[in-house]
Amino acid sequence: MRKAVKGRLVSILVPVYNESPNIMEFYARITRVMNPSGYACELIFINDGSKDDTLDKLYGLREKDSRVKIIDLSRNFGKEIALTAGLDHCRGEAVIPIDADLQDPPEVILEMLSRWEEGYDVVYATRTRRDGESSVKKVTAHLFYRFIKKLTPIPIPKDTGDFRLMSRRVVNALTELREQHRFMKGLFSWVGFRQTSITYRREPRYAGKTKFNYWKLWNFAVEGITSFSFLPLQVATYAGFGISLFAIAFAAWLFLTTLIHGNPVPGYPSLMVAILFFGGVQLTTMGLIGEYVGRIYNESKRRPLYFVQDKAGWDDGRERPRLEGVQ
């Protein structure tokens, strides 16, 4: 068990993209939680190319609260990369990613800190309910977490997002992982260490609309599956082998029936069905291979994960530094 010592630095990481309506309420709630907690706190906002006045509000908060730190990325890189930027810059002994839309209640942080003080390196928050979301979103999310759990050898917790506490040694391990295609929920589990869970009820968004549509969620699911499993390729191999056996058996059956009953000439519809079926299988298999080859291609270019165009709150004497590329 870790000895409890108040005053430890806790880093709160908040990736934001067009979250102007939520910023002030989020700040008010997070400070109500952290101020009386006895922990030191740095509140790191990662602006992921927002097009509204999100960044202006963040600099306004920075002027009145020195605990607020800002990383302004050069464009929209996506939440996974924005979260990576926060992990690269944070200095806390405990690090907690959380969204600014207040679906993940900041009050749960106190329970996370309590479990961290017991000696756990990762305390992840599992949702018992998802209020304010459509039935389709709830069903697809439920199926996705269980599907990916079956596909991957990594124990990715069900119904669990990025909202969690991580110790410094977990964060240090994560910052060594620099792949371009980043499924953070999988990476959090892949690094291991001592992990435990708490449960909470997810709230509706405080304001605004979610930035994820079903197309983005589908691509996110594909990212998770291909990042941590090559089972789809194995399935394609087994499917091809099985279809080949079926084709051999069917050819043998045609040969025997021709010898016994003659050749009545098979009909056009059955021929077209066979051609379309096998063509579909081949294209699907090629598509699966293409997904993995495309990821190899992106990794081989070794581009920086992101660029920082502005930064405020670090002890480097630069509130607005030059453009920085981070591998």
pTM, two decimals, is 0.69
Name the strands in the sheet holding 306-312, side by side, starting at the edge strand that comes first in the sequence.
195-202, 122-130, 160-167, 94-97, 9-16, 40-47, 68-73, 306-312, 324-326
Q: Rounded to whole angstroms, how far apart are CA atoms 14 and 60? A: 16
| Neighbour count for residue 65 (Cβ, 10 Å) | 14
Tokens, residue 9? 């630095």
Q: How buried is residue 41: exposed, middle or buried, by Cβ count under 10 Å (0-12/13-18/19+)?
A: buried
Q: How buried is residue 307: exposed, middle or buried, by Cβ count under 10 Å (0-12/13-18/19+)?
A: middle
What structural domains and CATH numbers belong to the chain? 9-228+303-326 (3.90.550.10), 231-301 (no CATH)
pLDDT in 10s for each residue of the chain, 327 residues? 444 456 788 999 999 988 888 888 889 899 988 888 888 889 999 998 888 888 888 988 888 888 899 999 988 888 888 888 999 888 888 999 998 888 888 888 988 898 888 888 889 888 877 665 666 666 666 666 666 666 676 777 777 778 889 889 889 988 888 877 777 777 888 887 888 888 888 777 666 565 555 555 555 556 656 565 656 666 666 666 666 667 667 667 766 766 666 656 555 456 655 676 777 677 677 777 777 777 777 777 777 888 888 888 876 544 433 445 555
User: Given the DSSP bridges, would you call strands 40-47 and 68-73 parallel, antiparallel or unpaired?
Assistant: parallel
